[in-house]
Structure 1
């Protein structure tokens, strides 16, 4: 080849390189990557049902039930639920016995039928939708068919069981739960019976005089759940009289907007009902209503929540002076708090609620349930060295065996636990007002959603991660045609130096902790986004609780590893009074356990002024082959630390971990190596540590 031809060839090659570079530059130039505190609500999502005017626009819109396909440890948890309590309660709980059940009759009559059926059904059905489980979906429909049949000519449906002091109006609290069950069912099936059924019942509610509406304790406290259903129905029908009903329900619901006070201090009510003012804010647009929800959240935690794990020590009902981390919270309270957070992130757009949801989901909730999901604890505390059947009152507000693992630990939590992980899975991804999608709660999963302009394009986004046990989240795009839409990714508040790469190219954009990365581009098949949220050790000091400390790594809080000794108990003998077995249930398949410490638990942490990285060693382990990281042996990493025994810190006369000693604690015992494991994997745990010298 002569020099002229060689030169021509090199010019062509250079031109090709330049053309490729310009194409690549043009593609990158089209990308718009920004850091936003909240999504703009100036537009509304055209594919998914958000708030209809005049309601305040939603910041994020829940996708229909069944849109998110779980993977990883969330899938494992859902499978454990299916094979454990959630999936099998219908055959063992007397409250779910169909014979003579007021929920399974066509006239609302029966000798039992209160909150248990809808409590269970709203999680059980959503579990079926998440797993696409034909058996669960069919059983859910069987119950709901009876609910449809129970509607009376005046619009009322369900049991006619009345409170003792009011015969003319049935208790409306269970019906609120059943409405939520119907809403999810409609999202999954589009069953044409649901909307007219709910409208007819809503007209019945409109005809109930104010002086008779929501007057008993549970329905009065929890009217916000009914309020949410009214808005759900309005958004799908546009019936303006429903907004009048919303005003009526709010004014007859307990006042959760009081300054420095709550209507009551029942732990489940607080976790569930504090969101009511923010729900009503969607209609009034009065910032005072929104502020009231935030005020309620911080009030309970200022008084009783100076502890790790995101919750507060109320036992069943909070009491002045009982705020040590040995005080507990119901399993009902845990799942209700998660549900509140999931709703509030949609209403407000505030990533705080997603952060807090993860705090409860990762640190408090897993240890409230047995690893096989065949037993749970009524009460779980950040500091508990014994989980037995003893009556620990008055140290614990409840009288009974409320600290043990039992399939029938209580009539409420036994059924209400069902919604925890199914609802969590549904909120891993949400739609955005600008026809995009947000990765809200990180977990291995796959979502199918419609995005973009015009008639939209259906895309599938696959998320791969071991979060919260890893700091990398990968999202792969599956789209039949190149499509322009925004993808949001939440930047947790604990992460100050998150980074993003697109198709392997690092993006030179900084992201504020507690915000969202918004990536708008023309996405094509095979595009990959990788978010890294570097985790580091952090220390919380609980000054209002004896200067105790807790240790965090990313979103995980760590507890002392206490060797656990399980003692098999008779489930029938240890069940509390309002828990009942079906007559033919095989109780041997549903054991109860007491858990005792087989190693010392009364350690204080030995800390100094050096950086935490120099005081603790993080030891990483392989990912568990069964995809379940919430047991002592399976946790993917642990922390090596130094501690000292505090001899005087023992179990008190009620059998509870004694009150925290004031830190710093002077002790002459020898410094020892101790291990810390993620709090969610510690069914016995010390999570608030005294500091020792």
Structure 2
């Protein structure tokens, strides 16, 4: 009998093991988890909202590790955690957010607090949690009887209408606090506020300029509250806002980069209520529209150094740090709303390749914009090129300079960590954004399990998971397969899973899980080259999710501030103007990957700690340099002519390079290649006046307009001088032989007040200070929609000047200025 029982037990064990192996070797591939209402163990959408493929885990459920925790620790000891030391706006006793007698306060505290609290929750930092609670208690205590809260002056600050933009941010802080603490005051507080908001005039939602584009943040909180209370008036309010705020369904109504980064998600959010496909489709359509014109370079951002501007799409244009963090937030939210893994890919692209370069390695300095191609970070850019005149590139604490970015940055890494794991509506869990971490989540029959994730990703291609569970439990585990990988491989308890893990999909492992089960995901990385045909046929280099950059070496110098919080400029140590051979291919690159221990260091986004590098041969490009302000000059057509010697250069992940070239020209020694030195011979510009941040170098950027009102070509104007005599001059790097010049005049008849000039003439100088008219010049044309050329006997000149007499009551400008300089 005993032997029979032993045999039966052996057979049962064998059958269980076989069943586990069978489960481990089977899987399915889906485009998205199912969209279900009121299903799962976390708060999803309740009817009539569309079902939720994913549900956000409560603040504190995800504990980051590895380099991600390193970024968060640096935040805690840097500008985010110590904002009170550096910001004139984060002063508790003086703030109208907590002191009903004070009117001080706008977006700064709200920007900072919504990320600061989450930083404390994901790190388990009791000091940060306590300080965040202090602020939030003050806000909760001082709600007005009618439901309004915050600085009283904001009730009527927009021509008698309320400015509710900063309240949208503060609601995010309250939501995270509620998820972490369960404080019973939060839901009634938000309900009273939204009831008050329901009474404001409809004009409120389209007032205040940029504010009219940012109601997506408010709508997100409305749906969050509705899913917890079921109050029907909230859906009425969401519709009222959608109908009366800026329309992102039919296009992009704003030029402001942060408005775009936030606002494009609004139709997708409202799709959950309307159910109309056009609303969800509008998000992708708008994304593609912006990126096609302004995002034609690596890193995940677009050219929005405050505003997007037609003709300014070169990789030297920057993206505001606020833009990066808001775009990441949009991508993370759209992942949860749509279930489309492409949005998670996009969040990673910014997080790995752009965001780290926006800060100093110790996170005590930040700059306003970060460019794909940038070779000097100092105050030189303040005099033009970008759409603002304050400190755009130098690293500073910045909280009192431009206010928004240092405070708003606080949410970047905490939100990223919280979105790395998501619950699914079918009572499973998804690893959405890969990184070392632990996540506690209820699954299957309600059992709380803990997944531990160990990886050096994105600096390594293997992601390992281990499960802790008090008992066996059946549930689906979703693994995102990124777009860039090929032949992804999955193993469960060491056994390979037979599945075609196609990119931009989820592999679902739905099985009976046991304590100690392991999953290993390998995402093979390879070198890839991308040609950017709309950006002069330049090329970029990637390795897996990482974009690679050339860094010329960095010299850091303190330029001001305090010893604890310095301002710092960064200048190049060596040459940076390299191009890749015209016939370069992926096999030409030699990849060096350091150990996983190095890759998972707390701060891999530095030149000293970078875990991956690539070597390749390149040549310097004669004529490609920086302008007088240290901004890299625009790319010209590839291939560029270069007979310079081949050199071995090293590329590093662009997130680790504060100075970087990520979009390269190609080079060739063939005579039909373009000689860039003939296009960019200019040393310096001077002008009688200019409009805002218009850069005179756009006149010689080689971009040929199709008409005098061509808005896609950058322009230089003398606006707003009307009917006056104006001039613009250029000095050459060396004496030039010149016998002709051509000017393409800007004229915006029908939309503005710039016209071709009444007359003009060309002057020169030949080494002295005196400007002299060119002798025996041909006629000076002022025709629209063409180059107006003037010729004369050859002269050796060191500078040229256009002197124009403007027509009465109008201004003038130049789209392109060419010479036959030799």
Q: Does 1:661 align with 2:636?
A: yes
Matched residues in 2 for 1:88 and 1:180: separation? Answer: 20
1:425 and 2:417 correspond? yes
Q: What TM-score does the superposition give when structure 2 sets the normalisation length?
A: 0.78
Secondary structure of 1:354's counterpart equals helix
| 1:451-462 superposed matches below 5 A | 451-453=443-445, 456-462=446-452
Greater displacement, 156-165 / 351-360: 156-165
Q: 1:82 aligns to what? A: 76
Q: Distance in 1 between matches of 2:155 and 2:316?
A: 35
1:620 to 590, 593, 606: 593
**Aligned match for 1:692, one of 667, 670, 695:** 667
Contact 1:66–1:132 (8 Å) recurs in 2: yes
The within-5 A match list for 1:95-494 is 95-107=89-101, 109-110=102-103, 112-162=104-154, 166=158, 168-259=160-251, 262-408=252-398, 410-453=402-445, 456-494=446-484
Q: Which residue of 1 aligns with 2:756?
A: none
In the alignment, does 2:16 pair up with 1:23?
yes
Match of 1:629 in 2: 604
Deviates more, 1:374-383 or 1:587-596: 587-596
User: 1:588 matched to which residue of 2?
Assistant: 563
Deviation at 1:164, TM superposition (A): 8.3
Shift of residue 290, structure 1, vs aligned partner: 0.7
**Secondary structure at 1:476 match in 2:** strand
Once residues 405 and 155 of structure 2 are traced to their aligned partners in structure 1, the CA distance between those partners, rounded to angstroms, is 21
Match of 1:40 in 2: 34
Is the Cα contact below 8 Å between 1:60 and 1:430 reproduced in 2? yes
Give secondary structure in 2 for the equivalent of 1:390. helix
Q: CA deviation at 1:398?
A: 1.6
Structure-2 change in CA distance of 1:151 and 1:18 (3 Å): closer
1:17 and 1:144 mapped to 2: Cα distance?
A: 60
| C-alpha distance in structure 2 between counterparts of 1:235 and 1:12, whole Å | 54
Could you report, residue by residue, the CA deviation over 1:632-674 in whole angstroms, capped at 9, with x for unpaired residues? 1111110001110112001123431001121111211111000
* Deviates further, 597-606 or 645-654: 645-654
How far is 1:98 from its partner? 2.3
Q: CA RMSD in A?
A: 1.9
* Rounded Cα–Cα distance in structure 2 between residues aligned with 1:451 and 1:565: 51
The 3-state SS of whatever aligns with 1:185 is helix
> Counterparts of 2:452 and 2:142 in 1: how far apart (Å)?
42
Cα distance in 2, alignment partners of residues 27 and 678 from structure 1 = 40
Q: Is 1:557 aligned to 2:547, yes or no?
A: yes
1:67 counterpart = 2:61: yes
1:19 Cα deviation after fit: 6.0
1:291 and 1:43 map into 2 onto residues whose CA distance is 21
Seen in structure 2, the aligned counterparts of structure 1 residues 30 and 550 have a Cα distance that, compared at 3 Å, is closer
SS at match of 2:93: coil
- TM-score, length of structure 1 as denominator length: 0.93
The match for 1:58 is 52
Report the Cα distance in structure 2 between the residues aligned to 1:43 and 1:510, rounded to whole angstroms.
30
User: Conserved in 2, the CA contact under 8 Å of 1:278 and 1:289?
Assistant: yes
Maintained 8 Å contact 2:38/2:46: no
- Tell me which of 647, 651, 667 is aligned to 1:672: 647
Q: Does the 8 Å CA contact 2:92/2:135 hold for their aligned counterparts?
A: no
SS of 1:161's equivalent in the other structure is helix
| 1:51–1:605 distance in 2 versus 1, CA, 3 Å | same
Q: 1:665 to 1:212 in 2, by over 3 A?
A: closer
Separation in 1 of the partners of 2:497 and 2:154? 61
Provide, for residues 356-405 of structure 1, a one-character-per-residue CA deviation record: whole Å limited to 9, x for no partner: 00000000100101110000111110000001112344322221221111
Change (3 A) 1:393 1:250: farther
Bigger RCO (CA 8 Å, 6+ sep): 1
Deviation at 1:538, TM superposition (A): 0.7
Distance between the aligned counterparts of 2:639 and 2:581, measured in 1? 10
Per mean C-alpha deviation after superposition, the further-off stretch among 443-452 and 205-214 is: 205-214
User: How do 1:503-582 residues align onto structure 2 when only pairs under 5 Å count?
Assistant: 503-571=493-561
Task: Give SS of 1:86's match.
Answer: coil
Q: Deviations over 1:176-231 (max 9, x none)?
A: 10011111110001100000000001110111121344411132110111111100
1:599 and 2:589 correspond:
no
Measure, in 1, the Cα distance between the counterparts of 2:167 and 2:12: 65
1:269 CA drift (Å): 1.0
Higher strand share: 2
Q: Distance in 1 between matches of 2:279 and 2:630?
A: 42
State the Cα distance separating 1:77 from its structure 2 match: 0.6
Deviation string 1:19-51 (CA, Å, 9 cap, x unpaired) is 654332222334551111111224653310010
3-state SS of the aligned residue for 1:359? Answer: helix
Q: Is the 8 A contact 1:342 1:353 kept in 2?
A: yes
In 2, are the aligned partners of 1:392 and 1:655 still within 8 Å (CA)?
no
Question: What does the per-residue CA deviation read over 1:470-521, in whole Å, with 9 as the maximum and x for residues that have no partner?
Answer: 0000000000101111100100011121010011111111111110010011
SS of 2:42's equivalent?
A: coil
Measure, in 2, the Cα distance between the counterparts of 1:524 and 1:452: 12
- Structure 2 CA distance for aligned equivalents of residues 375 and 550 of structure 1: 28
The secondary structure found in structure 1 opposite 2:323 is: helix
Note closer, same or farther for the CA distance 1:20–1:190 as it changes in structure 2 (3 Å cut). closer
Instruction: Quote how far apart the aligned CAs of 1:16 are.
Output: 8.6
Q: SS of 1:248's equivalent?
A: helix
Answer whether contact 1:172 1:214 (CA < 8 A) is retained.
Answer: no
Q: Which residue of 1 is the match for residue 783 of structure 2?
A: none
Match of 1:583 in 2: none
* Displacement of 1:12: 12
Worse overlay, 300-309 or 20-29 = 20-29
CA distance in 1, matches of 2:298, 2:582: 18
Of 262-271 and 364-373, more deviation after overlay is shown by 262-271
Q: Is the 8 A contact 2:328 2:412 kept in 1?
A: yes
Offset, 1:163: 8.6
- Which has a greater percent of helix? 1
| Cα distance between partner residues in 2 of 1:187 and 1:367 | 31
1:46-90 superposed Cα distances (whole Å, 9 cap, x missing partner): 310010100001111110111000100010110000011000001
CA deviation profile, 1:398-443 (whole Å, cap 9, x unmatched): 2122111111152100100000000000011000011000000000
CA distance in 2, matches of 1:419, 1:446: 20
Give the C-alpha shift of residue 676 in structure 1. 0.2
Give structure 2 stretches of 5+ with no counterpart.
669-822
1:95-115 deviations in whole A, cap 9, x for unaligned? Answer: 1122322123035x33x2000
Corresponding residue for 1:4?
Answer: none
Decide whether aligned partners of structure 1 residues 626 and 351 sit closer, same or farther in structure 2, where only a CA change above 3 A counts. closer
Q: Is the 8 A contact 1:162 1:168 kept in 2?
A: no
- Match of 2:535, SS? coil
